[in-house]
Structure 1
Amino acid sequence: MEFDPVLLARIQFAFTVSFHIIFPAFTIGLSAFIAVLLLTWLRTGNEKYHRLARFWTKIFAVSFAMGVVSGIVLSYQFGTNWSRFSQFSGNVIGPLIGYEVLTAFYLEATFLGILLFGWNRFPDWLITLAAVLVAIGTSISAFWILAANSWMQTPAGHEIRDGIAYPVDWLQVIFNPSFPYRLAHMLNAAYLTTAVVVLAVGARYLIAGRHEEESRTMLRMAVGMIAVAAPLQLVIGDMHGLNTLEHQPVKVSAMEGHWSESDPGHLVLFGIPDEEQRTNHFEVAIPHLGALILTHDWNGTYLGLTDFPEDEWPPVANVFFTFRIMVGIGLLLIAVGFWGLYLWWRGRLFDSAFFLRSTSYMWPLGFIAILAGWFVTEQGRQPWVVYGHMRTVDAVSPVPGASVAGTLALFVFIYGIVFAMGIYYINRLIHKGPVGRATEAATGVPNRPLSGAEGATREATGRESGEGPGRPLTAPKG
């Protein structure tokens, strides 16, 4: 049996990076949410913010651990499957990844320890500071990783000597043409994804009649964030698309299913791209709208796939469909944000059964959109691994295809076990829900004296755990 080492190496990297990306994206948004909760708790002394922060910190810890484990595997693959790529670009990519470890990972790991184990041992301000620094660390990590990825998409600030890239201007390397748009797009996607998860969890608690005070807070904060971040993502995405049209026009042609510059710039809502016949079957399109979006001219034109050599085309159907999945989810989340704002304004945010049941199932949408966006970005760059400089087929290691197939099968088996256990544990934490300090004390967790504001809040609310009577949390039916 013949094994294609290039295809298998690509599948292996795609498999591992797809598992990996969902966890850093979630922890970027979740760490910011925890920091906001603790800052609000420090300012108001309201115990519900403390309960929510502790609850989401446990989930953050599991997600962070799985992100670290899967990230280590990716690093090794640069040496095992992509050694020629590492030889070509190591002088540029290596330092950027190293800076991520030095400036971000150490910061996250150090202060995450305080955030996890210091709740009853350190002052409130130190716990809050640790949460803020962890959130900053996750964003710095995204900064360096996206700088490296963006350089592969729009390389700048380097020179090539004897077939090897050498940096000559680090500012141009880091702040390459696509980096600002890619960073803003990814960070906003992370915040939006986390907001959707928080919204779904809050909705499920309200449906089950549990943790109602915390659930109302989660719904308000999540709806507010979605209402801002979802439309903002549309604006950032438009700017990112214009930048891509300038630097990677063939990727945009594949995204739009656009075949020739002489064709009208229609916005294709649906179709089935056919690379052999160079057309879209069953096409449903809005005339001239694609040209208006991309050129800001109703009668504008832009290059199509047939205006480029065929050996520089990305896999058109993959890019075409994943782009529509990403945009479709984005438009849906804009509608959800405005729907939530309307119900909030009418005083029905917590009482609309249809809204709560609908949003309780939406928690995967952000992750699906992130994966679809990465598929567009990475597959749309093909056949290049470093755009315009090194093709993917020239980047793989001289490793037999059978060896790559064996390690791929092993990764699928191990990831299936490890990540299934991680998701199971996260679901257990969500089922348990936020608990107060009185509950912790009853289970043997050390307690500390309450500050005056906290004591006043507890006296006013008349309860400590925030867990009123209710039925067990289950997925809504119907």
Structure 2
Amino acid sequence: MEDLLSARLQMAISLGFHIIFACIGMVMPFLMAFSHWKWLQTNKDEYLHLTKTWSKGVAIFFATGAVSGTVLSFELGLLWPGFMEHAGPIFGMPFSWEGTAFFIEAIALGLFLYGWNKINKWVHWATGVVVGISGVASGIFVVAANAWMNSPSGFDWVNGQAINIDPVAAMFNDAWFSQALHMTLAAFVSTSFAVAGIHAFLLLKHPGHSLHQRAMKIALTFGAITALLQPLSGDISAKDVAVRQPAKLAAMEALFKTSKPADLVIGGLPNVEQQRVDYAIHLPRFLSFLAHGDFNAEVKGLDSIPRDEWPPVVVVHVAFQIMVAAGMAMALIGLVFLFFAWKKKHLLFHKTFLTIVALATPLGFIAVEAGWTVTEVGRQPWILYGIMRTSDAVSPMSGLMYPMITFTILYLILAFLVTWLMARQIKVLHETYKPELQEA
């Protein structure tokens, strides 16, 4: 295996694991704080036990997210020294702010975990909210750094060197808002549906368990609202990518020829050699509208891009289709949930609906992984879009396959330990809390 591929795989595997921990770390504190608020309002034991159980999950994922995030920061320097030589002084600001948010999150989490019955109850609740806010802020700062790689700004590139550096302009680049919005909503959708799915599965095993009923309703409320908002952020992102990264949009839609108007492609498998998409459904003119808000607008195809600058079309297109399909499925489930909660409360915990929610447990994280595949693979062959190729930034050190294998094994062990710890928390919950079976 060549070193460039090994380095890219190591980053992909590291990011693939970390993004799950990061999403959960961003969103679980808000679920925890909402449950805590409900307990303060109602004094019902289910909310107190749920809050304490979720807080332990927050602590576990905070620790694992910190570890996996630290590994990623080291990998940037070790695997991509050609990139970091120039990028460090330019996009260091969002990482500095991310570090600040991380420390605030750590302090607030410590106060929340150990503040029970020691500080004012509303101050205690507020520390949980601060954990969530700082976690989301941390994620936004990291995404701003990634957005800079997709939309370089805040410097002039002269003779292979960055000059006239403006870190503020680099941080608030043209892509930061659309990427941060889309990623933040994705974190809420994926985590909320995963939590709801786990509690739906437990309800199938323990019908009428009021704690799991309340947990599922809280998580699905967050998940449903954000899942219905996500297509709006997707529209913002699509219009942004159409202007800044036409090659990425063309790969997402497998649009080989510049078209006016352009069809939206649903599904299908790109045939790069023949430059067509097999087995796809075409919606006439819809890509023109989604990309530019005009059904007759021209959309640049891959034929307008030099062949050596094409992203891997098959990977990007399939990942994009998976992301959209998973997102639409969750939006539909969320819509059904909101309707049931409004008009058909007796169906919320029907076995069929619980089964659907349980089966949807991994959908959000599948969408997140697919979305990041589109973002990162769709930028190739550039590590810094339009300026520096990935092949020019990789470490000259040979044998990069071995650290890639080592880190993969370590992440698998970490994932196993986290899963075991969370399963143990659920087991402890059932052993220590046995409510009457009732409707929530």
TM range (shorter): over 0.9
Shift of 1:127: 2.2
SS at match of 1:165: strand
Which of 225, 229, 235 is equivalent to 2:226? 229
Shift of 1:331: 0.5
Amino acid in the other structure paired with 2:147: S
The answer to whether residue 119 in structure 2 is matched with residue 122 in structure 1 is yes
Cα distance in 2, alignment partners of residues 220 and 71 from structure 1 = 31
Q: Provide closer, same or farther for how the CA distance between residues 167 and 173 of structure 1 changes in structure 2, counting only shifts above 3 A.
A: farther
Shift of 1:166: 4.6
Cα distance in 2, alignment partners of residues 208 and 149 from structure 1 = 42
Contact 1:48 1:466 in 2 (8 A): no
Q: Deviations over 1:50-95 (max 9, x none)?
A: 2211111111111111111111111111221111110021111233
> Where do 1:74-473 residues align within 5 Å?
74-101=72-99, 103-161=100-158, 163-166=160-163, 168-209=165-206, 212-262=209-259, 264-344=261-341, 345-400=343-398, 402=399, 404-433=400-429, 439=432, 465=433, 467-468=435-436
Per mean C-alpha deviation after superposition, the further-off stretch among 166-175 and 212-221 is 166-175
TM-score, normalised to structure 1's length?
A: 0.87
Q: Provide closer, same or farther for how the CA distance between residues 60 and 268 of structure 1 changes in structure 2, counting only shifts above 3 A.
A: same
Contact 1:100 1:145 in 2 (8 A): yes
Contact 1:211 1:467 in 2 (8 A): no
The answer to whether residue 24 in structure 2 is matched with residue 56 in structure 1 is no
Q: CA RMSD in A?
A: 2.0
SS at match of 1:381: coil
| Residue equivalent to 1:22 | 20
Amino acid in the other structure paired with 1:187: T
Cα distance in 2, alignment partners of residues 154 and 373 from structure 1 = 17
Contact 1:273 1:280 in 2 (8 A): yes
SS at match of 2:157: strand
Amino acid in the other structure paired with 1:468: E
SS at match of 2:281: strand
Contact 1:267 1:288 in 2 (8 A): yes
Amino acid in the other structure paired with 1:213: S
Cα distance in 1, alignment partners of residues 259 and 217 from structure 2 = 49
Which of 58, 64, 67 is equivalent to 1:66? 64
Cα distance in 2, alignment partners of residues 15 and 142 from structure 1 = 18
Percent of residue pairs identical: 34
Cα distance in 2, alignment partners of residues 191 and 156 from structure 1 = 29
Amino acid in the other structure paired with 1:145: V
TM-score, normalised to structure 2's length?
A: 0.94
Amino acid in the other structure paired with 2:401: A
SS at match of 1:283: strand
Q: Provide closer, same or farther for how the CA distance between residues 286 and 135 of structure 1 changes in structure 2, counting only shifts above 3 A.
A: same
What 5-or-longer segments of structure 1 have no aligned partner?
A: 440-464, 471-478
What 5-or-longer segments of structure 2 have no aligned partner?
A: none
Q: Provide closer, same or farther for how the CA distance between residues 423 and 167 of structure 1 changes in structure 2, counting only shifts above 3 A.
A: farther
Larger Rg: 1
Cα distance in 1, alignment partners of residues 265 and 98 from structure 2 = 39
Contact 2:189 2:224 in 1 (8 A): no
SS at match of 2:119: coil
Shift of 1:161: 5.0
Q: Provide closer, same or farther for how the CA distance between residues 226 and 95 of structure 1 changes in structure 2, counting only shifts above 3 A.
A: closer
Q: Deviations over 1:138-172 (max 9, x none)?
A: 01101210111111111112223553335633332
Amino acid in the other structure paired with 2:369: L
Shift of 1:211: 7.2
Cα distance in 1, alignment partners of residues 183 and 42 from structure 2 = 32
After superposing on structure 2, the runs of 4+ consecutive aligned residues of structure 1 that deviate more than 6 Å are: none
Cα distance in 1, alignment partners of residues 171 and 192 from structure 2 = 29
Contact 1:20 1:71 in 2 (8 A): yes
Shift of 1:418: 2.3
Q: Provide closer, same or farther for how the CA distance between residues 132 and 229 of structure 1 changes in structure 2, counting only shifts above 3 A.
A: same
Per mean C-alpha deviation after superposition, the further-off stretch among 210-219 and 359-368 is 210-219
Cα distance in 2, alignment partners of residues 431 and 326 from structure 1 = 33
Q: Provide closer, same or farther for how the CA distance between residues 108 and 434 of structure 1 changes in structure 2, counting only shifts above 3 A.
A: farther
Cα distance in 2, alignment partners of residues 211 and 140 from structure 1 = 37
Q: Provide closer, same or farther for how the CA distance between residues 59 and 270 of structure 1 changes in structure 2, counting only shifts above 3 A.
A: same
Shift of 1:293: 2.1
Contact 1:84 1:396 in 2 (8 A): yes
Shift of 1:198: 2.5
Q: Deviations over 1:381-426 (max 9, x none)?
A: 01111111111011111111x2x11111111222222221111211
SS at match of 1:257: coil
SS at match of 2:378: helix
Q: Deviations over 1:348-376 (max 9, x none)?
A: 23442100112112211111111100000
| Residue equivalent to 1:449 | none
Shift of 1:434: 6.8
SS at match of 1:433: helix
Contact 1:88 1:163 in 2 (8 A): no
Amino acid in the other structure paired with 1:193: S
Per mean C-alpha deviation after superposition, the further-off stretch among 72-81 and 233-242 is 72-81
Cα distance in 1, alignment partners of residues 205 and 259 from structure 2 = 57
Contact 2:330 2:360 in 1 (8 A): no
Shift of 1:263: 6.5
| Residue equivalent to 2:2 | 4
Cα distance in 1, alignment partners of residues 229 and 349 from structure 2 = 28
